[in-house]
Amino acid sequence: MPAKTINGKELGQKLREAMTGEVTQLREEGIVPHLTVIIVGDNPASKSYVNGKKKASAQTGISSDVIEMPASVSQEELLKKIEELNNEKAVHGILVQLPLPDHINEQLVIESISPYKDVDGFHPVNIGKMMTGDDAFLPCTPYGIITMLHSYNIPIAGKHAVVLGRSNIVGKPVGQLLLKENATVTYCHSKTENLFEYTRSADILIAAIGKPNMISGEHIKDGAVIIDVGINRKEDGSLTGDVDFSSAAEKAAYITPVPKGVGPMTITMLLQNTIKAAKGLSHLGG
Ligand code: NDP
C-alpha cells in the first residue's frame, strides 16, 4: 500500500488560518505582532527565503520589515543594529538570515539577539531550555516536524527515530524533541559506519543531510514514517529532497514530499514563534 503523503503546505496553511484569529485578537488588545528580518548581502536564496517570510507574515496579519545591509557591513554595525532592535518595544521577533559573510562571527550574532525575541530559536538560552524541556522558542524546522507528526496522529513514544544529520539548526534539535516525546533516538552523520543498517531499523526517519535522493525504498523499513528535510536544487532548477520519493513511498506508511513538505512548516512555525513573542508567553521574559 503506498504511503500517505504528509502535506506540509496544506497543514501550514490550516495552522496559519488559525493564527490569523490569534493575531486579530492581539491587535484588538493593542499588540501588533512584529517581526524584523535582517538580511546581509544579496545572496539570491536568502532573498527568496526572506520574501517568503515577509509574505507569510502579511497573510496572518503579523507586521514585518526587512533591514537590508550590504555584504561589506562591519560586525560592529550589525551588532549595534541588533542591540537597537532588542530595545525596541514594538519589535517582538528578530531574525538574522543566515549565512552571513565570512568576516562576521555568526555565533556572536546569534548570541547578541535577545532570547526573548529569538524567534529562530537558535540562541543558546533557548537551546538550553529546549534540552531541559522548559518553555522556549523552538527552532522552526524541528518544531515544524514535531507539529506534522502530531497533526497526523503519528505515534512517537517508544518508536525508534533515526536522525540523519547533526546540524545545530535541524539534526541535533529534532533528535532532542523526539527524545522528549519518548522516542528512542539514534543520530547518524557523515562518519557513521553502515548507515543503512540504522535507516532500515527506523520507525521514524528524519533525513537532514543535503544529499539528493540518497535514501531510497531499499534503505527503509516497511511502514516507516519518512520526514525529508533536504532541499537540493537539481540542474534543471527544480527541488528534490534527500529521499527518493517514489521508491520510498512504496514502502513507507507516511512520507513528506519536497517541495510542499517540511519547508512550508518551517515558515509557519516562525510565525507561531513571533506570536508567542508578542504574547510574551515565554517565561524567558516577554
Ligand atoms: P548541514 O550541512 O549543516 O548538515 C548536514 C549534516 O548531514 C551534517 O551533520 C553531516 O554530517 C550530515 N551528512 C552529510 N553527508 C552525509 C552522509 N553522506 N551520510 C550521513 N550524514 C551526512 O545542513 P543543515 O542541517 O543545515 O540542512 C540539511 C538539509 O536540510 C539541507 O538540504 C538544507 O537545505 C535542508 N534544510 C531544509 C529546511 C526546511 O525548511 N525544509 C531548513 C533547514 C535546512 P557531519 O556533521 O559529520 O558533517
pLDDT in tens, the chain (286 residues): 799 999 999 999 999 999 999 999 999 999 999 999 999 999 999 999 999 999 999 999 999 999 999 999 999 999 999 999 999 999 999 999 999 999 999 999 999 999 999 999 999 999 999 999 999 999 999 999 999 999 999 999 999 999 999 999 999 999 999 999 999 999 999 999 999 999 999 999 999 999 999 999 999 999 999 999 999 999 999 999 999 999 999 999 999 999 999 999 999 999 999 999 999 954 444 4
Is the Cβ–Cβ distance between 213 and 241 less than 8 Å? Answer: yes
Q: Which three cell numbers stand for residue 24?
A: 486579530
**Partners of 185 in the beta sheet?**
161
The number of residues in the chain equals 286
Distance 208 CA to ligand 1 centre (A): 5
Distance 233 CA to ligand 1 centre (A): 14
pLDDT at residue 88, as a whole number: 96
Please state the residue numbers annotated as binding site: 165-167, 231
For 57, the 3-state DSSP assignment is helix
| Catalytic (active-site) positions | 53, 97, 120
Ligand 1 atom 18, closest CA? 190
pLDDT at residue 284, as a whole number: 47
- Write the DSSP symbol of residue 243: B
Taking the C-alpha atoms of residue 204 and residue 163, their distance in angstroms, rounded to an integer, is: 8
Q: Do domains 29-114 and 140-263 have the same CATH topology?
A: yes
Please state the residue numbers annotated as binding site for NADP(+): 165-167, 231
Distance 237 CA to ligand 1 centre (A): 20
The residue ranges of every structural domain in the chain are: 29-114, 140-263
Written out in words, the top-level CATH class of the domain with range 140-263 is alpha beta
Asked if the interface predicted TM-score (ipTM) of this complex is over 0.95, the answer is yes
Pocket of ligand 1 (CB under 6 A): 141, 164-167, 169-171, 188-192, 195, 208-211, 229-232, 262-263, 266
Taking the C-alpha atoms of residue 79 and residue 159, their distance in angstroms, rounded to an integer, is: 43
pLDDT at residue 1, as a whole number: 74
Taking the C-alpha atoms of residue 79 and residue 81, their distance in angstroms, rounded to an integer, is: 5
CATH H-level, domain 29-114: superfamily: Leucine Dehydrogenase, chain A, domain 1 (3.40.50.10860)
Strand 34-40's sheet: what is its strand order? 63-69, 34-40, 93-96
pLDDT at residue 283, as a whole number: 44
pLDDT at residue 118, as a whole number: 98
This prediction has a pTM of 0.96
Which atom of ligand 1 is least distant from the CA of 192? 20
* Plot region of 163 (φ>0 → left; ψ -120 to 50 → alpha; else → beta): beta
**Strands, DSSP E only, in 47-183?**
63-69, 93-96, 160-164
Q: Using N-to-C axis directions, what is the helix angle for 8-28 and 140-151, rounded to 10°?
A: 110
Distance 227 CA to ligand 1 centre (A): 13
Is the Cβ–Cβ distance between 37 and 64 less than 8 Å? Answer: yes
Cα-Cα-Cα-Cα dihedral sign, residues 227, 230, 233, 237: positive
Q: Which residue has the cell 544579496?
A: 42
Q: Which residue has the cell 527544480?
A: 238
| Listed residue (6, 1, 18, 3) closest to 272, CA to CA | 18
